Structure 1
């Protein structure tokens, strides 16, 4: 099936008793045993499995072309489950501009348990130099947050295969509509489903999708079940509902982002624009080769430094001054403030999640904000 059809049908299950076309929400935390003590329904306790989570995981796996998916209560919980599945002392190679939430998670929660290096994973020589006998995972994030760097997935996978190392790709910014990391050789994909899968800034979730049901995947499944950081049946239901419109929403997001990036690139008060759909982007050629769309996230820096950036973000009217991304509404934030004192983000940078408003209104809002 094409991805639009998958999005609508792979997460739905017609109710056997009522014949309801839309799967009902199963709120029960526990399920009745058979007379012999078994569970012929396949469900025993909702922390382990729930019909709505099963449907969500099914559509997520099919969207990414994976063998199986595991749903979590947040993107950070999904990332943490990967780290928790690794043997103590395992070495992880991460990008130097890794999403700060997961970067801080490693530094604050896994210091002394796992080893990790934050490097330029796009440089094959640097990547190879940092591989150790105990390196188990190369973590990539493409496009990256918030600098919109593009990682050549096939290139990283090629290096990883030579050393029998797993590759996990954070595909949140791209979505499976714009990029298919598993098809490019990655072993696992991570998402914050709070973002484009949810699409309306009103629920939280995370997901992992694997290319195969391996022993490592079973360890992650055990972390999911025993740790219990799983989405509620209600959240699963709403994620499945939102995913049905994902292909069409993403196309609108991407179209708006391309036009907004072009406008910003031509504005005299803008220093630089970071968007992989622009020919000026340093990895534009890589993006064209591995992406079917360039996503709806962009960052731009302003002439005049931090004061100018804060002046602009405080003058917006249509954009919301807020963190997060992937919702129908456009958001803008001064990213360095969000990331804290150890940020490597330029202080004149504004990160933008481009929504589904009319592009003329978004451009007009930026024009008036930068005219002040």
Structure 2
């Protein structure tokens, strides 16, 4: 643990951090990539260009400084980051590189003096140790599972299905022919794509219940996306990919008598599909509600699959919202425009119900506001964000 003087020194830097803002972490990334360009193969550079990653890191640094004397407050955030780090196969020695450039950035941007730099060195060392220990635990857990492994494993694409205008699903099978590890519904895979000297790493949610043989992911074609573009435009059956084991802190965690509502938009239904599949296979006896938002029928993926799985449940209902339906979509949706849950509040008030959300940040903020208006507390609301984490 940190001594009181170090804690006080760290907290005294909070005003300067807030005044500097995300430009601090922008400088940090620029500095680190200039000195260690090999790390560009680990980070999603699209999130660097749009500023999402630097903002997420800045918020994490401020949260750490704010709660430096009470780390249990930020343990959920640490777990989320540690899980994501394992999909990048982060190693302990890389924390030394990050620490070196973080301290240099603080010195260059804030000129705080030796006492502050020493305090931040201690604070970073403590936090890095927490991450290294937790990530090693995850690596070992994944390796010890039946069908598990550590690091990268060779897979090939064994099936490609067009699910909508913008979404394809891919079944990935291990090239060694051996079993694959189970996972919790809602988790994701680390997908490593190497083409020549270029390496890209992305996380894609698993979309089926575990079967021990292969994995299925769903990928939306992002404009300008290197990995989604290759998967949609060039990938064919037989092509090889490297995967890290399933990971993630967003997963279905309910008892058999817990009512469940799954709410998604666009590609955000990917983790919900695995949750629904698990609920269907387990013949979940409690109420299961499915809410999904799409632009229109042409962009609505997995419609038939959801209805087929829902039909096997004793208590299932679905509500489909199309933002801009066409005349041909009549009869395929329940409401138009933005998803409005308030008229359906009677369907959301069952005692003990848990809500799982995934979709664009603005969509989830809109949904959470509505859920809170009808009396749903945040402990019952669980959400996943594709990309750097944002607090809803």
TM (norm. structure 2) is 0.26
Higher CA-based Rg: 2
Q: Larger relative CO (CA 8 A, sep 6+): 1 or 2?
A: 1
Q: Whose helix proportion is higher, 1 or 2? A: 2
TM-score by length of 1: 0.27
Name whichever structure is richer in strand by fraction. Answer: 2
